[in-house]
Structure formats: C-alpha cells, structure tokens
C-alpha cells in the first residue's frame, strides 16, 4: 500500500471513529453516563507515556466543566444535557486530532462505541454507464465537526483546578509485524496479555505501600509469564491444534501487526473459538492430575500430582527476590486464572470501571473543590458493582489496584470490603483468594496499625484546619459587622439643636 493510500485509509478510519464517538455521545441518556463516556474515551486514547500531562489536564477540565454545568440555573435538564453533549463532542474531537485513531485504538474503543451504520446499497451500474460522470464515487463528507475549543491551561484556567489523583500508567506494548505466522501468533498473545498486566501495574507512588505486590501487579511477573507463554504454551498450542496450523496459509500474515491480529481473528467466530480452545487445551494439559497412592496405614487415597510442565512453570514464575512479588504455588486454581487472562478480562470495561472508581474515591475520600461530595461508602459500593460485572478472580485485583493507586484507602478498607463477599472466612477465601492471601501477609498487622495512626493524624489535621477556617470566618464576620456598624454611625445625621 502506497503512502498516499495509507494516509487516505487513516483519515477514513479517523472519520469513522469520530462519527461513532459522536453517536455514542448523542445516545448518552444522562449527565453521569455522558461524563463517564467522555472520560473513558480520553483514558483509552491518551495512553502513551508522554500523554500523562495532557490526559490529567483534560480529565480535570471535564470534571470541572460538568460540575459547573450542573450548578447553572435557568436551564432545563434537556438543555443542560444538550449543552454538555456539545462540550463532550468538542473534547472528543480534540483528543482524536491529538491522537489519530489507530487500529489498536479502534480495538480498545470498539466495545464502548456503537457499530458504524452499514453503507446504503447502490444500484449496479450498466456497461453503458462507463462513459458517464462518476458521481457515485464521490467521497462522503466527514462527520460534522463540533466547534473546536482550546483545552490549554491558559485558556480554561486549569491551573486553578486541582489535578486528579496522580496515577502512573505503564506504556502500552508496541505493535509489531513478523514474516511468519508462528512468530506473529506468539507476539499477538504477548501483546494482548501485556495490555492486561500493564493495566494492573498502574500505581500511585504517593501511596507509599510497603507490602509485597501480588503477582499480577508486578513488572517482573509479566516478563516471566511471557517466557512461559513463549517456551511452553505456544508450542503446545501448535502441536495440539490442527486449526492453528491451517491458519498459517489462510492469508498474508506479514501485513498484520500483533495488535491488529485479534481484530482479524474476531472476524470469524470459528477461528476465534479455535484459538481460545487451543489456549485452554494447552494450559489444561499442564494441570495437576489425580493418582492413587497408598498411605503408611495401607489405605489408598487420591492425591494431585504436578506434571513435568507444571514443575517448569513453577520454576520459571519464581521471583528473583521474595519481595519482587507474591505468588502462591502454581496449582490448578492458578492454571484456571492464566486461562482466564485471555478470556475474562475486557480492557475497555476495566478502564471504564477504574475511571468510575477514581471518581468515587476522590469524591468520598480525597475531594477536589470542583467535585460533589460522595456519601460514605460510595467507593465500596462502586467497587462491589464493578466486581459483580466480572468473575470473582478479576475482582481480587481490582480491589488491590485501588489500594496501590488511592492513598487514602487502607488495609482496614480492604478487610471490611471482603466481608461483603462472604459471611465467613472460608467463603471469602473461595471468592477472593488472592485478596485474602494478600491480607494474610505476616506484615499486615504492623502496616495496618501504622495506617490507622496516619489516618487518625489526617483526620485530626483536617479537623484542626476546618476549625481554623471557621475561626477565620467568624473573625471576618465580626470585623465586617463592626465596620458596617461604624459606617451606619457615621452616616447618621447630627442631632438637632433644641
């Protein structure tokens, strides 16, 4: 494909993506839904390391503007929503202009935006039409652009807006192309899995957490897990699945990148099911299996025995240092989790949930001046709602990401949260195994006590600050009253002579 054709295709893709984003904005039924939509689009599009400043400024501006419009009097709810839709389109257009829509971005946004409208059918042309003007091929105009606004700090006064909670988001993996299908397939698996692991690697250095990270939140685990996939799982997939072998000659794979691969696979349900099936089959072959053994008393009992591949996996996933990350011995439960990493985690939904969780955290526990105050327990309820949309094993790590990203959460918050997922310890361990393992760390009692002291100090400081502000307000009111009284005295006419 020539450079001009590639540029034309990119422009067409951008117009379609913008049109779908505008359609999603128009279909938002409420102000809250509209705000969550536009913030999720911003987070999904601005993912590069150099995008951090722009992303945070944009999120702060969106929050401030939506809060401002909620308080504007004299507007009907319908007019208010229409005005905010216009603002949302302006914001989305600026983001699309700043970061042209790549195929990778389309894949991230696909679950969020409505599908494009099918093109209208055009009648077949007769042979006698060949010399007539080709009016049917006239390109359709791009979607009507919303008036562009300037989101710079100077224009909108964002310098006066407090930034959202500072979250370090790891850089997304790079898309690559390969000469052979097998190389591309292995790279595509790594790409998709790395997108997931890097979502959970986000952190807030201001939180200052000292406990060892669970494995999915660790960069070293990602590296080691990709080695397992490359050396053990991918060879098994090709040796056990004829469908994968047949895919090698189904098209020119050297034109497809590791990011676009999954969109191509998703075009055919049979192919997609075959790939997922091969992934599950390869991991299943590594599971522990039952054997019968005689005990010391001569009784025969069933025991689970690790396969040679499972022993290799355990060795490869052992951290270089005990504090690099915490991981239980790899057993069948962990095998099930590894299988789920390709099937149960929807990145767009995860980003949407995290955006909402950050909003609830700030409004309840770390409110900015431009935000509404959330009721007590709003973050917990939002986390429960997010977890209920995913399997329990996903919920474990969403709760842990909150702990590592939101400084004013603590171990007491996590412990209370687990009680919502089971009335007894055994049930909670069954439903939230990795979170319960994290809370069972021998260092937890000391860290919990320190966090309780720090929270008490924060609350005492906040109480003192609030009292100081009230004293200042009372003093200012007293001064104002005195000045008003003196002014009235001066204005009184002198007494008349009698």
Residues 423-453 pLDDT 10s = 899 999 999 999 999 999 999 999 999 999 9
Question: pLDDT tens for residues 153-210?
Answer: 333 344 444 566 788 889 889 999 999 999 999 999 999 999 999 999 999 988 889 9
Domain membership of residue 301 (yes or no) is yes
Question: pLDDT tens for residues 63-104?
Answer: 777 776 766 666 778 878 887 888 888 788 777 776 665 555
Domain membership of residue 498 (yes or no) is no
Which contacts qualify for 178-182: CB closer than 8 Å, 24 or more apart?
178/253, 178/254, 178/258, 179/254, 180/248, 180/253, 180/254, 181/247, 181/248, 181/253, 182/234, 182/238, 182/248
Residues 150 and 9 both lie in one domain: yes
Number of domains in the chain: 3
Of 289, 308, 340, which residue sits at a domain end? 340
Q: Tell me the range of 108-112, 212-216, 469-473 where mean pLDDT is highest.
A: 212-216
Structure tokens given for 93: 């257009």
Q: Cα torsion at 192, 198, 199, 205 (round to 10°)?
A: 180
pLDDT of residue 338: 96
How far apart CA 17 and CA 440 sit, in angstroms, is 46
pLDDT band at 142 (very low <50, low <70, confident <90, very high): very low
Residues 335 and 352 both lie in one domain: no
Work out the percent of the chain whose per-residue pLDDT is above 90.
38
Residues 34 and 77 both lie in one domain: yes
DSSP calls for 362-394: HHHHS--TTSPPPPTTHHHHHHHHHHHTS-HHH
- Name the nearest CA neighbour of 230 among 112, 353, 312, 119: 312
437: helix, coil or strand? helix
Of 103, 130, 160, which residue sits at a domain end? 160
Domain membership of residue 418 (yes or no) is yes
Q: Which of 100-114, 276-290, 356-370 has the lowest mean pLDDT?
A: 100-114
Domain membership of residue 319 (yes or no) is yes
Q: Which of 46-55, 138-147, 461-470, 475-484 has the lowest mean pLDDT?
A: 138-147
User: Per-residue pLDDT for 141 more than 70?
Assistant: no
Maximum distance among all alpha carbons in the chain? 126
Domain membership of residue 361 (yes or no) is yes
How far apart CA 51 and CA 138 sit, in angstroms, is 37
**pTM above threshold 0.75:** no
Average pLDDT value over all residues in the chain: 80
pLDDT band at 487 (very low <50, low <70, confident <90, very high): low
Question: pLDDT tens for residues 380-418?
Answer: 998 998 888 777 667 789 999 999 999 999 999 999 999
326: helix, coil or strand? strand
pLDDT of residue 115: 54
Domain membership of residue 461 (yes or no) is no
CA distances from 482 to 7, 474, 485, 488 (A): 71, 12, 5, 10
Residues 250 and 318 both lie in one domain: yes
Residues 351 and 334 both lie in one domain: no
Of 340, 356, 375, which residue sits at a domain end? 340
Residues 249 and 286 both lie in one domain: yes
Domain membership of residue 453 (yes or no) is no
112-118 mean pLDDT: 51
Domain holding 227, by residue range, is 181-340
How far apart CA 309 and CA 272 sit, in angstroms, is 26
Question: pLDDT tens for residues 272-313?
Answer: 999 999 999 999 999 999 888 877 777 888 888 999 999 999
Domain membership of residue 205 (yes or no) is yes
The region, left, alpha or beta by phi > 0 then psi within -120 to 50, assigned to residue 377 is: left
């Amino acid at each position: 494909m020539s450079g001009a054709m590639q540029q034309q295709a990119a422009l067409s893709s951008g117009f379609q993506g913008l049109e779908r984003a505008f359609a999603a904005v128009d279909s938002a039924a409420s102000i809250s839904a509209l705000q969550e939509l536009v913030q999720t689009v911003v987070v999904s599009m601005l993912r590069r390391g150099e995008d951090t400043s722009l992303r945070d400024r944009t999120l702060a501006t969106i929050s401030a503007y939506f809060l401002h419009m909620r308080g504007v009097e004299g507007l009907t709810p319908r007019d208010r929503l229409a005005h905010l839709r216009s603002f949302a389109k302006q914001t989305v257009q600026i983001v699309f202009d700043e970061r042209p829509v790549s195929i990778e971005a389309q894949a991230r946004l696909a679950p969020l935006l409505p599908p494009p409208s099918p093109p209208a059918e055009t009648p077949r042309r007769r042979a006698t039409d060949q010399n007539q003007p080709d009016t049917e091929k006239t390109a359709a105009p791009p979607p009507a652009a919303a008036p562009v606004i300037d989101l710079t700090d100077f224009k909108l006064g964002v310098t006066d807006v407090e930034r959202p909670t500072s979250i370090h988001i790891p850089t997304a993996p790079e898309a690559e192309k390969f000469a052979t299908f097998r190389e591309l397939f292995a790279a595509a698996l790594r790409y998709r899995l790395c997108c997931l692991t890097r979502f959970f690697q986000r952190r807030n250095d201001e939180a200052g957490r000292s406990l060892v990270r669970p494995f999915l939140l660790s960069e070293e685990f990602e590296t080691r897990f990709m080695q397992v996939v490359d050396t053990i799982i991918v060879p098994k997939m090709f040796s056990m699945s004829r469908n994968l072998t047949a895919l090698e000659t189904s098209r020119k794979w050297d034109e497809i990148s590791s990011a676009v691969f999954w969109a191509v696979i998703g075009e055919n349900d049979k192919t997609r099911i075959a790939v997922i099936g091969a992934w599950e089959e390869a991991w299943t072959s590594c599971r522990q299996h039952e054997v019968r053994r005689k005990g010391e008393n001569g009784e025969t009992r069933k025991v689970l025995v690790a396969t040679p591949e499972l022993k290799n996996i355990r060795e490869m996933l052992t951290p270089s240092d005990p504090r690099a990350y915490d991981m239980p011995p790899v057993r069948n439960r962990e095998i099930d989790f590894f299988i789920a990493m390709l099937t149960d985690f929807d990145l767009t939904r995860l980003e949407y949930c995290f955006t909402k969780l950050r909003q609830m955290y700030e409004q309840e526990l770390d409110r900015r001046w431009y935000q509404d105050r959330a009721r007590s327990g709003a973050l917990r309820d939002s986390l429960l709602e997010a977890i209920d949309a995913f399997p329990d094993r996903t919920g474990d790590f969403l709760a842990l990401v909150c702990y590592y990203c939101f400084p004013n959460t603590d171990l007491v918050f996590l412990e209370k949260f687990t009680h919502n997922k089971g009335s007894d310890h055994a049930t909670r361990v069954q439903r939230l195994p990795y979170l319960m393992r994290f809370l069972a760390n021998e260092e937890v009692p000391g860290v919990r006590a320190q966090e309780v002291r720090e929270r008490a100090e924060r609350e005492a400081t906040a109480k003192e600050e609030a009292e100081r502000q009230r004293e200042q307000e009372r003093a200012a009111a007293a001064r104002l009253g005195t000045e008003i009284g003196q002014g009235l005295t001066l204005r009184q006419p002198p007494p008349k002579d009698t």
